[in-house]
A and B are shown apart, each in its own frame.
Chain A
Amino acid sequence: MKPLSRQPLQTCVSVSLVAVLCSGPAEAHLNSTGMGPIYDGLMHFLMSPEDVVPALALALLAGLRGVAYGRRASFTLPVAWLVGSLVGLTAAATTGSAFLSSLWFLLLGGLLVADAKLSLRALTALAVLLGLVHGYWNGTGMEPSALAIVALVGLVSGVFVLVVLAAALVVPLRAQWTRIAVRVAGSWIAASGLLMLGWSFRGR
């Protein structure tokens, strides 16, 4: 047994020490620094279940119907979302309605549960409407500036990636139980929508 040379260890420790000493400020408090406009837009979308869940439901619905539907939803929804956001940027500040959000949960979750045989045109219309409405709500919450446009690019990229991944996950499913699992997810989304509807009636 030949003893292991200590040279690599010393080199590694020295390099690590230098890297630690030269590290920049942590900037852990994102409230003051942000993550840059692209990531701010992306994170805003990903951390807003009112936006993520309907987009996910639409993607799953499109995936259940097939490749053409998935492709159509992947491009239509982000574009409509972007248009809605740009319109919202110029509008007076307003917030999304909890009542309308819950209706989206109910509608898309219900269609998913029923495995609704929508036409491609109907799915496109749904995607356009969803994108315009939610994009508008997102846009009205932002200050109209160049940074906001960049943030919208991040946000819409998030919508695109989510829809592509979710639809691509569902399209190849052939086994009956896997398609039923997707419909069960729709049942959960619709049920959450019903509860949200109750909360909105109660005024929470």
Chain B
Amino acid sequence: MRIASRRGWTHAMVGLAALLWAQTAAAHLQQGEANGFLTGFQHPITGLDHVLAMVAVGLWGAQLGAPAIWVLPVAFPLVMAMGGMFGLMGVPVPGVEFGIAASAILLGAAVMFEVRAPLFVTAFLVGVFAIFHGYAHGTELPPGQSAVLYSMGFVIATGCLHALGIGIGAVHRWTWGQKLVRAAGGVVAVGGVLFLWKALA
């Protein structure tokens, strides 16, 4: 008991000393710095259409295994950013909302039916959909915020959603996991149908 008490006192004293010697907080960032990153990071994860499609990309990659499991997450951000660049340059891309809805439907269906297409077909399909997502989401920088940090936050959040999909897809090695992943694909496809309904309405 006594030893435990002494340890507690030591910890308390070290903590108190650390508090007393605390350095300056450097809390005043340049205008828009933290906001730019957080806004960019929040943007993809607060849009359900984007979340479903990105997770589906990860799930499909996990089902297909190597090399698709890493080719898709590498290719998607690059092509998505190209779509964002088209949007920023004012290049017209018709039917963006339909493209996003179609991405959820087709990617969800691909996961649900465990479609095993050749790698270039898979990468092409994912790349085409990535353009729509980048075009719609990558161009919405709020005024006064850092474009660099917004872009980085946006891309990193998208990559994290892919990683989430791959993480969920890791259960694919078990029989029950394969069913679960296919069911998740079904949920994504149903979500896509709802987005398409909204786009048509």
User: Which residues of A are interface residues toward B (Cβ below 8 A)?
Assistant: 1-2, 4, 8-9, 12, 16, 19-20, 23, 26-31, 35, 43, 47, 49-50, 53, 98, 101, 113, 177, 180, 183-184, 187-188, 190-199, 201-202, 204
Q: Is B89 an interface residue (CB 8 A)?
A: yes
Q: Is B80 an interface residue (CB 8 A)?
A: yes
Which of B46-54, B98-106, B109-117, B153-161 lies at the interface? B153-161
- Docked CA distance A18–B39 (Å): 44
Which of B18-26, B121-129, B181-189, B192-200 lies at the interface? B18-26
Known contacts A20-B20, A191-B155; 6 further A-B pairs (Cβ under 8 A): A28-B24, A47-B30, A187-B78, A198-B87, A199-B147, A201-B85
Majority DSSP secondary structure for residues of A touching B = helix
Please tell me if the beta carbons of B84 and A198 are within 8 angstroms of each other in the complex.
yes
Please tell me if the beta carbons of A49 and B148 are within 8 angstroms of each other in the complex.
yes
Enumerate chain B residues within 8 angstroms of A184, measured Cβ to Cβ. Answer: 70, 73-74, 159
Closest Cβ–Cβ distance, residue B120 to chain A (whole Å)? 17
> How extensive is the interface on chain B, given as a class?
35 or more
Please tell me if the beta carbons of B84 and A49 are within 8 angstroms of each other in the complex.
no
Q: Which B residue sits closest to A49, measured CB to CB?
A: B148
Q: Is B139 an interface residue (CB 8 A)?
A: yes
- Docked CA distance A12–B146 (Å): 47
Please tell me if the beta carbons of A191 and B81 are within 8 angstroms of each other in the complex.
yes
